[in-house]
């Protein structure tokens, strides 16, 4: 397996960003023909999620998650509907009115916390304004896992961020697990190589980052790139209430990156 160099560096808590739009009032111009109005540049807004985020004791069979928006939407990229822990088959969806209904080809696991991330998946019908992203969480057990970790994935040669890499956690500590089993938690990196794995267990994990070419949530050495931590990781040892930790992965293609 290709190796990697990794280290931990501190990251100060990010400040919350608040965006808003201001519309300037103006008088009507009666000397010109109507122009059709301003172009819609406002992305869709979620109005309701069912089951509500944080719901526990969700049935393992036949569960659907409905996201209702303030306008009619379309699924721009079905791969953007990302379930963690992932299943063998990707989630399916239907559009009904202003709602996107997500359902699963397989039964859910018992006593498991699940997240669904919509980043990069949804746009409005008229202008194609992308929904900025949203993650909901629910559990088939009686509690929601509450630990989290953040980090970045980058190319070890150029130091450029790796967009769309899948960061995977395994409780199975065998080296072969990433080849044979799907992770117990996973998330995609954003445009800056950043990831935030939320609602994970307080336990020991092996951590991998894979550029997953075929989207099967496994490492295929003939076509995928990989990075990994060479020690076991436990989120409770890294994250506290005031300072988050940034986990840094160096993605590599060749053994030259071991230096």
pLDDT band at 75 (very low <50, low <70, confident <90, very high): very high
Exposure string for 193-223, b = 16+ CB within 10 A, e = fewer: bbbbbbbbbeeebbbbbbbbeeeebbbeeee
The terminus-to-terminus CA distance of the chain in angstroms comes to 16
% of the chain surpassing 70 pLDDT? 76
DSSP letter at 237? G
With residues binned 3-state (H G I as helix, E B as strand, rest as coil), the percentages for the chain, rounded to 5, are 5, 35, 60
Least confident of 89-93, 136-140, 229-233: 229-233
Beta strands 73-75; 113-117: pairing state: unpaired
Per the confidence metrics, is the pTM higher than 0.85?
no
Between strands 64-69 and 46-50, the pairing is antiparallel
pLDDT digits (tens, 9 = 90+) for 27-45: 344 455 555 556 778 899 9
- In this predicted structure, the answer to whether residue 13 has a pLDDT above a threshold of 50 is no
Q: Among 129, 118, 110, which residue's Cα sits nearest to residue 72? A: 129
Q: Was domain 6-10+43-253 assigned CATH 2.60.40.1220?
A: yes
pLDDT(3) > 60: no
> pLDDT value at position 92?
96
Q: Let me know: does 244 contact 152? Beta carbons within 8 Å.
A: no
| Higher per-residue confidence, 16 vs 208 | 208
* Mean pLDDT on 86-111: 96
């Amino acid at each position: 397996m290709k190796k990697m160099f990794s280290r931990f560096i501190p990251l100060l808590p990010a400040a919350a960003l608040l965006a808003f739009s201001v519309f300037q009032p103006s008088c009507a111009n009666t000397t010109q023909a109507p122009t059709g109005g301003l172009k819609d540049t406002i992305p869709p807004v979620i109005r309701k999620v069912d089951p509500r985020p944080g719901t526990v004791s969700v049935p393992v069979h036949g569960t659907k998650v409905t996201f209702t928006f303030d306008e009619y939407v379309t699924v721009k990229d079905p791969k953007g509907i990302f379930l963690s822990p992932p299943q063998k088959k990707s989630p399916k969806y239907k559009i009904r009115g202003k709602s996107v209904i997500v359902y699963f080809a397989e039964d859910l696991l018992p006593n498991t916390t699940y997240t669904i991330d919509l980043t990069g998946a949804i746009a409005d019908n008229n202008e194609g304004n992308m929904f900025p992203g949203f993650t909901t969480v629910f559990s088939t057990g009686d509690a929601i896992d509450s630990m989290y970790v953040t980090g970045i994935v980058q190319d070890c040669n150029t130091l450029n961020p790796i967009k769309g890499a899948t960061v995977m956690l395994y409780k199975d500590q065998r080296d072969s697990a990433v080849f044979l089993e799907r992770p117990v938690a996973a998330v995609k990196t954003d445009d800056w190589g950043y990831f935030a794995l939320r609602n994970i267990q307080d336990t020991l994990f092996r951590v991998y980052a894979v550029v997953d070419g075929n989207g099967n949530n496994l490492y295929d050495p003939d076509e995928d790139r990989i990075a990994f931590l060479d020690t076991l990781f436990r989120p409770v040892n890294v994250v506290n209430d005031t300072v988050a930790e940034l986990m840094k992965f160096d993605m590599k293609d060749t053994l030259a990156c071991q230096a």
